[in-house]
Amino acid sequence: MARRGGRGWYGRVLAAAVGVTAVAAATSVWSAQAGPVESRPGRVEAAARPFRPHARGPTRVPVSVAIAHASDRGARGVDITVDDGPDPVWTPRVLKALREYGVKATFCMVGTQAQAHPDLVVAVVAAGHRLCDHTVSHDTTMDTKSESYQARQILDAERMITKASGGVRPQYYRAPGGAFTPYSRELAASHGMRPLGWNVDTKDFERPGTDVLVATVKQEISNGPTVLFHDGGGDRSQTVRALREILPWLKRQGYSFGFPVR
């Protein structure tokens, strides 16, 4: 989701996350490097330093450290991504809307939310959607914190989501507010989680109205395939209504739905 000021929901999530301990990082060092990558408008990351795992742990097949913005369905593909859940009210409604139009999405889950609602994580997986690590507590200042803090946020969330899902691991990592660092990208990639960006930010968290959300997607889909919605963090009724309008519209325009590249 786009970086923005503090919100009460995230403060509560952050408080709930205090005391979560770090899980082990990867056994092997994956030293692939990436050049400067713009993680959000007006901000460009510094060159990556060699990745240094903090502790031993289970081996993962590494993926690219580059932030994914493309669809596995090619130039006419669209990737729906849904952040900040799972939420007991809105996740089922988002799932229903996606099911009605036969669309699969990527759910970027906050670790404490996944831990609190494992039935919803299982439902997401059972419906054929993919999982994404969105950290333990959705701290949008991740890029200002120490590497050990970043590691705890990413790896503890991976553990929480995997446990809640019954063993299905996240395939992507999305930094809260786009607060990627070279270290966090390499750490996630070494655990098989491709760093995931977005091309169209609906800003549905601001609740600007369903018509505005639909218009934003129609106007900005030419920017790229990855569209950002939310199922957590507040009232998402506008999001659900917008999905019911925008999904059939995208199909009429000749788009197909897929997943972000890995």
Q: Show which residues are catalytic.
A: 83, 230
Distance of CA 119 to CAs 73, 139, 195, 217, 249, Å? 29, 24, 26, 30, 31
Please state, in angstroms and rounded to a whole number, the distance separating the CA atoms of residues 125 and 18: 27
**How many Å separate Cα 110 from the centre of its chain?**
9
